[in-house]
């Protein structure tokens, strides 16, 4: 089996890192270099050379019995997946080491750790919390959207501890050991699997049918959104590791009864979450938790709603504070032929879309509104050039310019 593994891993030769270099970077896996631990083994930090250069990295050392190959499928899967799927909101694989009995994966170092450490921390503002959720949603949307030879990937273990944060608080989805790949250019992927996910985050339909779809990830992400919103984990456990209390049913009831403000995370040092942003965030989180997979939103829809909530929070706007409401008919008229067409359910959502900017005039004009309701336009420079001049005069610049 070792010979077959070595042959397979030759495809990823550029990612190979020597065990001796890893031992040197971690002071021979010294406890002072250890930054995490779980059922898989331990994670260490250290400075290491890899195919992208030299940097601080996270080194995941699998806890393996040297007499067998337990954990090999997960090890290989992460190498395959993270070699194919590249996105700013997915953790990057920088290398691996396979020198029996060691199976080690080397990732970019997310210096702020995982999201679960900050659920009830005032260190994160509501703007940062929304941005983190948006980043993670973008990463999952990329995995779910098959294009060309890009196969759909179902993560299968979406949870707060698998969302890592770099030094700028950018979020990156991690841990692809349980991920499952669907066919390319396939509208839907239904996969039968015996085991996946973490207690509290699992799709209820999976528990009944043992099938997974991309909507299973959407459900798990809905749990994450409520955890961020409420500042607590979805479950508590007793000393034996059994579930003691589940909060998801309580959160759903609070939303239905319009009492979400009663369970939202509050801290006297934290600027409150804008009420309109709260409504947008809680609404998409609730929709993610729909029992019916068909009724759950896509991750692309989740991204759009979180973008809206973030803009509302950043500008601290509300339906009542839209200073340009008297001009709403005018703005709707001039954006009627926006490309792509505008899709909104309320005046506030329309305001948010215009705040982010839209393309008009067949893509030649960029139109947006600032926080005071004043509109700004940018037009293509080509539109300012006379056709006869642009065709006959050899334009040039005497200096380098953007």
What is the per-residue pLDDT across 128-168, written as a single tens digit (0 to 9) for each?
A: 999 999 999 999 999 998 765 568 899 999 999 999 999 99
Gap between the Cα atoms of 321 and 172, Å rounded: 34
Comparing 104-108, 254-258, 375-379, the range with the smallest average pLDDT is 375-379
Question: So where are the chain's domains?
Answer: 2-108, 113-315, 325-384
Higher-pLDDT residue of 362, 392: 362
Mean pLDDT of 270-277: 92
Gap between the Cα atoms of 213 and 226, Å rounded: 21
User: What CATH number matches the domain at 113-315, 3.30.70.360, 3.40.50.720, 1.10.510.10, 2.60.40.1220?
Assistant: 1.10.510.10
Share the mean pLDDT of the chain: 85
Choose, from 157, 175, 203, 217, the residue flagged as catalytic.
Answer: 157
Q: Is the pLDDT of residue 70 over 80?
A: no
Higher-pLDDT residue of 84, 172: 172
Confidence (pLDDT) at 274: 93
pTM: 0.82
Domain 2-108 part of CATH 3.30.200.20? yes
Q: Is 203 a catalytic residue?
A: no
Higher-pLDDT residue of 65, 359: 359
Confidence (pLDDT) at 95: 94
Q: Is the pLDDT of residue 392 over 60?
A: no
Confidence (pLDDT) at 87: 93
Confidence (pLDDT) at 44: 95
* Fold agreement between 2-108 and 113-315: no
For the chain, percent of residues with pLDDT exceeding 90: 51
CA distances from 245 to 58, 187, 200 (A): 33, 37, 10
What is the per-residue pLDDT across 181-219, written as a single tens digit (0 to 9) for each?
A: 875 545 566 676 665 678 899 999 888 888 889 999 999
């Amino acid at each position: 089996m070792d010979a077959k593994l070595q042959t397979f891993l030759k495809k990823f030769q550029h990612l190979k890192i020597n065990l001796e270099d890893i031992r040197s970077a971690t002071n021979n896996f010294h406890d002072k270099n250890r930054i995490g631990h779980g059922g898989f083994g331990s994670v260490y930090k250290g400075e290491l050379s890899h195919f992208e250069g030299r940097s601080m990295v996270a080194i995941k050392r699998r806890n393996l019995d040297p007499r067998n190959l337990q954990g090999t499928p997960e090890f290989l899967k992460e190498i395959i997946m993270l070699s194919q799927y590249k996105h700013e909101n997915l953790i990057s694989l920088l290398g691996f080491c396979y020198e029996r009995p060691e199976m080690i994966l080397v990732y970019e170092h997310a210096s702020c750790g995982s999201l679960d450490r900050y659920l009830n921390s005032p260190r994160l503002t509501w703007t940062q919390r929304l941005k983190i959720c948006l980043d993670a949603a973008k990463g999952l949307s990329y995995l779910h959207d098959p294009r060309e030879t890009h196969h759909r990937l179902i993560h299968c273990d979406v949870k707060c501890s698998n969302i890592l944060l770099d030094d700028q608080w950018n979020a990156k989805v991690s841990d692809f050991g349980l991920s499952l790949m669907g066919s390319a250019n396939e509208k839907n992927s239904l996969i039968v699997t015996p085991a996946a996910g973490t207690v509290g985050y699992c799709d209820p339909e999976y528990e009944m049918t043992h099938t997974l779809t991309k909507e299973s990830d959407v459900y798990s992400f809905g749990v994450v959104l409520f955890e961020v919103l409420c500042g607590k984990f979805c479950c508590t456990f007793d000393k034996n590791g059994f579930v003691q209390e589940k909060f998801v049913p309580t959160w759903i009831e609070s939303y239905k009864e319009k009492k979400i403000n009663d369970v939202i995370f509050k801290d006297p040092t934290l600027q409150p979450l804008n009420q309109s942003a709260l409504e947008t965030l809680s609404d998409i989180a609730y929709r993610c938790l729909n029992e019916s997979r068909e009724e759950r939103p896509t991750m692309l829809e989740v991204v759009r709603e979180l973008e809206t909530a973030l803009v509302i929070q950043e500008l601290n706007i509300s339906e009542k504070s839209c200073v340009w409401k008297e001009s709403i008919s005018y703005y709707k008229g001039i954006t009627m032929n926006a490309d792509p067409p505008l899709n909104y359910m309320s005046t506030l959502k329309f305001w948010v879309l215009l705040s982010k900017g839209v393309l008009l005039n067949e893509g030649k004009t960029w139109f947006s509104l600032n926080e005071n309701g004043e509109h700004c336009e940018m037009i293509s420079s080509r539109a300012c050039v006379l056709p006869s001049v642009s065709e006959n005069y050899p334009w040039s610049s005497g200096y380098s310019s953007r």
